Structure formats: C-alpha cells, structure tokens
Chain A
Amino acid sequence: MKKHVFIMIVLIAIILPVLSCIDHWTDIVPTPYRSQNQSNYCAVACIQMWAILDGADDTEITQDFIADQISFGYFGNGVIPENIVEGVEMFTNSFGHIAQEPPTNLGQDECLAGCIASIKDFRPAIVPFFRGVHAVLAFGYRWHYDSGKRIADKMYYHDPNGNVGPDRVLPALDLKLNHFTAISNPPCYWTIVARRRNRDDGILGYNIFISEGGTFYGGPSNYNPLSYDPRDPIN
C-alpha cells in the first residue's frame, strides 16, 4: 500500500510540471451580482446584471420594471430566448443576438464559442441552464491553445438564484453536454450573446468570428461553413 502511494506521489510530481507548461488564459468581465426577486425572474435578473455592467442604475432599472416591459410569452418555468434578447436590446448598451445553432455536436461547440466571443468583446452572455429551465449569466472563461485552436476549459458565471449565488465555475465540457442540450421543437441549441460588430452569416461571418477571437470547445475540425446556414436550426 505504501509503495502504491509512493508511486502515485512520484507520478504527480512528474506530471504537474509538464501540465503547468500549457499556458491558460482567463478573461473575466467584472459583472455585478443581483439575485432574482421572484422564482421566475432568473432571466430578468441576468438582464439586470448586464444592464448594471453597462452603466444602468438598478434603483431605476428594477427587475419588476424589466419584467413589465418585456413580453412574457412563457416565463414561469423556463426561459424563452426571444424574450431575453428583447430585454438585452431594451436595457443594455449591447445589441443582443440569439446565437441559434444546429442540434449537433458542432452546435454545442458554437454556443460555447459564441459566449466566449461575447466575453472577449467585454460583454457577458446569458446561458440557458438545465435545458432552458433556468438562465445564468456567463461573465468569464478560461481557455488554452491546442494545436492552434482555442479550447475552452471552464466558464465563470453568476446564478441569479439567491440560494445558489454568484461566482461559480463549471467545466466547459459539462456546460456543453449538460446545458446546451436541445429538447425544443424544432431542436436547436441557443444562447444570448452581444451582437458582434459587422456580423455576417455564412463563411464571411465565420471567418470574422474566428479572427475576432471566437473560441471553440473542440474546434471546428470537420466544419464546412459553406454548407451551413445559421438561419436553419435543423440544418
């Protein structure tokens, strides 16, 4: 048993310095935390936090005020991207955009990529949690390079549920698998990000996206942007 533990310690001692040679970058947007006032205000609280980051006064832009202004299609037990993006447009200085991606592994990667690109633009992103039942505000990512591709390691986020709280981290792979999981009809993955400057769809948009720092979980190795139409969620 002692020998076994000794071998483990030696192995760790050898491996740690090797792994620490990989450079990791972290981008954090200093986003204030506000908890949701009502059980169905998770997305509303995310919009409020984003608005405060952009300079709004939370005594004026209250959660009830935001909730009154945006159209609640169905907000009791979940979130609808169209409602959220409407709130981002109305109460923040960022132009909101629904990154709607196809229901494939690539679609999950692109949701992550969209969030990170938004954070690199110094804007947070609103991420559907638990398949859209809940929403959280992503305000940071840690990532590294692998074979020239940026690979996300983990996401920093605020959970507006006051019993859960601010400053949490989640491995990027868990985020991708557990939260960007499509069940809606038509199936697609989505997240709310700040609209990028001069955003274009298709191959031009893809190239701009990468050149401006779009970061992927796994990298678009099998991705043919020519065959991809972002307006068609089941492409």
Chain B
Amino acid sequence: MNIIKYFVFFILVFGLCQSGAAEKRAQPKPMSELTNPSSPSYVPIPYPKTRKDIITDLKYAINVTTAQEDSLIVGRIPEFEKKLLTLLDENPECKIGQIVKVKNRSSVYSHDYSWLILIEDNEGRNVIYVGMHANGLFAGAGDIFPHRERALVRTDQEILDIVSESIGHPVNMKNIQHIERVAFASPLGDLLTPLWEINMKNGVVYYFSLSGDSVYEAKEKKDWKKQKNGFRKDWRELTPNNEQFLPDEIDDKLIILKKHGRQKVKDN
C-alpha cells in the first residue's frame, strides 16, 4: 500500500516539475476561491467525480445562474431555462439523464476534461444540454432541437456504423484503438456538442461531428505554437484553400480535415 502512496506522490511531484506542460493550459482557480461561499467561483463540491456530486453542483449552478425575480427581466428568457429551474422544485418538469465525460482540447480551460449533462423530459427525450467545467462551475447550456435528441446519445457502435458508411469500408471495435468524446474550441464540436474521436489501430484518426453532421479524417497536423508576441498564427494563413480544421491547443497543432460523404460500405 505504501509503495502505491510513494508512487502517486512521486508522480504528483514529477508533474509539478513539468513546467512546459503547465504552460499550455490556463491556471486552475485556487481551491480557496472554489470553496469560499462569498466568491462567484464557489462550488459546493469542487472537482465532482460521482454522479451525485455532479448533480449537487449542477443544482447549485442552476440556482445561482438562472433563478431571479421576474421584475428584473426585460424581455422573455428562453423556455429551456424555465424548465431547468424546475429541477430545484419538488415536482420537476424534467430530470437529469446521461452525464458524459468529455476530453478538452482547448487551452483556455485549466482541466483536461469537462462534463456534458443531458436533461430529459418526463418521457425520456433529451431536451436540454448543460456543460460543466471539471471544477464544477457552469459552462453553458442550450435547448436541444427535437430532431436532434437521439443524436447526442449515440452508442459507440452506431458511430462506427456511420464512420463505415462514410469511408466506404467497415470499421469495428477490432480496428480501433479507442473512441472518446472530445471538445475543441471549434464550431465542429465544442463542449455542448462534442465530437467523437476514433483512433484507428493503423494510426488514422476520424472525427464524427454532430454540428457538422459528417465524418472527418485528420489529414495533416500543422504546427500552431504561440509566437513571440504570445499569439498563435492566424489560422487563415494555415488554411489557404478554406480547409476545415480543428484547433488542438494542447498539442499546438492545427488539424486539417478531409470530409467524407456517405457512401455504400464495401466488404474488406
């Protein structure tokens, strides 16, 4: 047992010494801020890990970011916010559904993952999505179009079927190394509509984008390090032919994509 403790301690100390890695992500909020009830960054349970803890933080976030007196509202707030507020009631109009862990490829957040929380209506349809940062702070929310409610919760097998249709030959669990949900600072897949990243054993990487409703293949990775002035190169210079791309700010790469249209699957 002690050996494991020493090992964990060594890993932590070693991680702290890796200043190069620490530079790439924003600094995390100090725990004193997250645990101070008078701070705007207060969360009941910092860095929630279990479903129960995530729900505690979610309910707190709904209360502090959405509840307010009607007299202070000019105009009408969207319907989905009213529904979300009922989660704090005894008889809510909706319930908390799937909670998905999403890998984060944007450097402005200090953590390597976030939570996507799906809210269902009483008939089990996904109606609202809510984003939560790893530290438990609210990260945005939105209404789910009725025709998109199933798209968000596709199984890995369903995604592989779509990939097979798009690239024209079958892909199954044996062909892939891993499949996971990833969020970039990109319209092709942010925290509320994360992409599926499919790493094939042959080194090819595919992405399925909900917002683009297509499969993309990582064609090339261009260097995208920060320059001396502290800013990255303008992406327009790196995509002279209007290529679609994903900005990987963690590995400092601009991933140039090739879009695949749907086609008939040929057997290998």
A168 to B26, CA, bound (A): 25
Cβ-defined contact, B193 with A25, below 8 A: no
Using A20-B63, A24-B68, A131-B247 as known contacts, say yes or no to A77 and B239 having CB atoms under 8 A apart: yes
Contacts of A131 in B (CB 8 A): 185, 235, 247
Q: How far apart are the CA atoms of A187 and B211 in the complex, in Å?
A: 29
Contacts of A91 in B (CB 8 A): none
Given A130-B185, A164-B193, A184-B234: A177 and B108 interface contact (C-beta under 8 Å): yes
Minimal Cβ-Cβ distance residue in A for B88: A16
Q: A16-B63, A163-B210 are in contact. List 6 more A-B contacts (CB 8 A).
A: A23-B72, A25-B72, A26-B75, A74-B242, A130-B187, A177-B108
A165 to B146, CA, bound (A): 11
Task: Give the interface segment out of B16-24, B116-124, B133-141, B171-179.
Answer: B133-141
Interfacial chain B residues near A207, Cβ < 8 Å = none
Q: B62-95: which have CB < 8 Å to A?
A: 63-65, 67-69, 72-81
Is A19 located at the chain interface by the 8 A CB criterion?
yes
**Which A residues have a C-beta under 8 Å from some C-beta of B?**
8, 11-12, 14-16, 18-20, 23-30, 39, 42, 74, 76-78, 103, 129-131, 133-134, 140, 142, 153-154, 156, 159, 161, 163-171, 174, 177-178, 181-185, 187
Give Cα A112 to B267, complex, Å: 53
Shortest beta-carbon distance, B159 to chain A, in Å?
16
Inter-chain contacts of B138 with A (CB < 8 A):
171
Please give, as numbers and ranges, the residues of chain A lying within 8 Å of B77 by CB-CB distance: 26, 28, 140, 156
Inter-chain contact B142/A167, CB cutoff 8 Å: yes
With known contacts A26-B74, A28-B76, A174–B140 Cβ distance under 8 A: yes
The answer to whether A171 and B74 touch across the interface, beta carbons within 8 angstroms, is no
Q: Does chain A have a CB within 8 A of B229?
A: yes
Given known A-B contacts A15-B37, A163-B212, A74 and B143 have beta carbons under 8 A apart:
no
Chain A contact residues, majority secondary structure:
mixed
Does chain A have a CB within 8 A of B106? yes
Q: Lowest 3 CB-CB distances: which A-B pairs, in order?
A: A28-B75, A76-B242, A168-B142
Contacts of B193 in A (CB 8 A): 163-164
Shortest distance in angstroms between A64's beta carbon and chain B's nearest beta carbon? Answer: 19
Can you list, as one digit per residue, whether each of B87-130 has a CB less than 8 Å from chain A (1) or not (0)? 00000000000000000001010000000000000000000000
The answer to whether A171 and B139 touch across the interface, beta carbons within 8 angstroms, is yes
Q: Is B44 an interface residue (CB 8 A)?
A: yes
- Chain B contacts of A177 at CB under 8 A? 26, 108
Tell me if A185 and B234 are in contact (CB < 8 A).
Answer: yes
- Alpha-carbon separation in the docked complex, A171 to B211 (Å): 21
Across the interface, do A168 and B235 meet the contact criterion of CB distance under 8 Å? no
Residues from chain B with Cβ under 8 Å of A15 in the complex: 37, 42
Q: Of B37, B44, B73, B140, which is within 8 A of A18 by CB?
A: B37
Q: Which of A12, A26, A153, A168 has its CB near the most chain B CB atoms (within 10 A)? A: A26
CA distance A15 to B44 in the complex (A): 10
Chain B's closest residue to A14 (CB) is: B37
B-side contacts of A169, CB under 8 Å: 65, 78, 81, 140-142
- Whether the pair A165, B229 counts as a contact (CB closer than 8 A) is no
Contacts A142-B68, A171-B140, A185-B234 given: A163-B242 contact, CB under 8 Å? no
Can you identify 30 A-B contacts, CB atoms within 8 angstroms? A12-B60, A19-B63, A20-B63, A24-B72, A25-B72, A26-B68, A26-B75, A28-B73, A28-B74, A30-B75, A39-B212, A74-B242, A77-B236, A77-B245, A78-B235, A130-B186, A133-B235, A156-B78, A161-B187, A163-B212, A164-B187, A166-B143, A167-B79, A167-B143, A169-B78, A169-B140, A169-B141, A170-B140, A171-B138, A183-B231
